[in-house]
Amino acid sequence: MYEYLEGEVAGRTPARLVLDVSGIGYELSVPLSSTFPERGRARVWTHLVVREDAHTLYGFPERSTRDLFRVLLGVRGVGPVAALGILSGLSPEDLVHAVATEDLKALTRVKGIGKKTGEQILLDLRDKAPRLASELGGARGAPGSKTPVASANDAHAEDAVSALVSIGYSDKEARKAVDGAVERALATNGARDVATLVRAAIAG
């Protein structure tokens, strides 16, 4: 129904985006790792899920990521929440690499993805990996390579905790995972923005 929406960002949390399009505010569920700005103009590639009790818009910063989300929905046992969780825990490049190399461990690190579902993803997407890699731009970059380095601060850590809680972690689990991610980032002078902390926390 909607290919994309373009407008002004009116609200932003790690898992949610509100986009003002000509005076209408669209609420979209977005991957925790998405790179939408806190304010300003943005184009959001969308997927609408219609259920009896709700119409939910999912938003993505690139069309290729939205299309990968749709591919995940075609896997038996993977619904919109699980697909969004996968794209929150793995970059599109890392997901395609995991499929191409049959890296089940990488998939099952994502909250809510067990061995059975991970194996089904590998089975269903294995033959599609070359095409998906091509659509994402070919070569796989290093994890987090597109994420700008940000200074470590409590706000980033708290936002990362909130993001993990929103996908099913308990507050205790989320804080422990984020604390570990911050410690590893400090030790290696790595990126410490919200998206990077979330991915590192999920990866353990």
β-pair partners for 12: 17
Question: 56 and 67 share a domain?
Answer: no
Query: Same structural domain for residues 124 and 161?
Result: no
| Final residue belonging to a domain, choices 80, 105, 135 | 135
51 and 75 assigned to the same domain: no
Let me know: does 40 contact 8? Beta carbons within 8 Å.
yes
72, two tokens: 């995940």
For the chain, what is the domain count? 3
Q: What is the CATH number of the domain that holds 51?
A: 2.40.50.140
Residue 147 lies in a domain: no
Are 38 and 18 members of one domain?
A: yes
Name residue, tokens 């909607």. Answer: 2
Residues in the chain: 204
- Look up tokens 């972690």; give the residue: 169
- pLDDT, tens digit, for every residue of 48-67? 999 888 899 999 999 999 99
Q: Is 144 contained in some domain?
A: no
Same domain assignment for residues 81 and 54: no
With a cut of 70, say whether residue 43 has pLDDT above it: yes
DSSP string, 61-86: SSHHHHHHHHHHHTSTT--HHHHHHH
148 lies in some domain: no
Q: Which residue has the higher pLDDT, 125 or 183?
A: 125
Domain match, 67 and 47 both: no
pLDDT at 124 over 90: yes
Q: Are residues 73 and 124 in the same domain?
A: yes
157 or 23, greater pLDDT: 23
CA distance linking residue 86 with residue 33, whole number of Å: 10
Strands (E), 35-191: 41-50, 55-60
Is the pLDDT at 141 greater than 70, yes or no?
no
Domain span including residue 177: 154-203
Q: How far is the CA of 129 from the CAs of 80, 92, 96, 117, in angstroms? A: 20, 11, 6, 17
Single out the residue in 60, 77, 99 at which a domain terminates: 60
- The model's pTM is 0.70
Which segment of 30-44, 50-64, 123-137 scores lowest on mean pLDDT? 123-137
Pair 52, 68 in one domain? no
